[in-house]
Amino acid sequence: MKGVLGFLVYVCGALAADQAMVEKGRAEEKRSCVGCHGLRIIHVQRLGRGAWERELDKMARWGSVIKEREALLEYLVANHGDDKPAAPLERSANGVGAKK
Ligand code: HEC
């Protein structure tokens, strides 16, 4: 029983840590990804982890200064991974739904 409880505490702790990491990444995106373009071009993507890694490498090469790269990567994979349903089409249209 003690073992089960310990395991649950461990799992909850791990999930909370993941969520904190994702939120850190969300903040990092607002800091390091909006200097040259809006968020829409990022949020309509559906990429796997490796593709997001290459995307971050490319943006860094182009001048983005990324401080919390690990957190940003976790955030992108969690919210805009290739396992997520396609972004609503109207958000791909120019200037529409650009807020998010
Ligand atoms: C120094 C300028 C700059 C910064 C900062 C920047 N980008 Fe970009 N990004 C570009 C340019 C230029 C393009 C391509 C032009 C376009 O399509 O508007 C682009 C396009 C993209 C695309 C579309 C796919 C592609 O590769 O063309 C994604 C996704 C993207 N950026 C993600 C990010 C992320 C995530 C960050 C934050 C880490 C970021 N960008 C920060 C310049 C930048």
Instruction: Please report, for residues 25, 26, 40, 82, 90, the alpha-carbon distance to residue 44 in angstroms, rounded to integers and kept in the order given.
Output: 17, 15, 6, 11, 10
pTM for this entry: 0.85
Q: What whole-number distance in Å separates Cα of residue 65 and Cα of residue 96?
A: 27
34 part of a folded domain: yes
% of the chain surpassing 90 pLDDT: 69
pLDDT band at 1, cuts 50/70/90?
low
DSSP code, position 90: G
CATH of the domain at 30: 1.10.760
13 C-alpha vs ligand 1 centroid, how far in Å?
A: 34
In tens, the pLDDT along 3-47 reads 887 877 777 777 777 999 999 999 999 999 999 999 999 999 999
70 C-alpha vs ligand 1 centroid, how far in Å?
A: 18
Domain hosting 64: range is 21-91
Domain count, the chain: 1
80 part of a folded domain: yes
pLDDT band at 100, cuts 50/70/90?
very low
Q: Which of 24, 26, 37, 75, when mutated, tests ligand 1's pocket best, judged by the most ligand atoms within 8 Å of its CB? A: 37
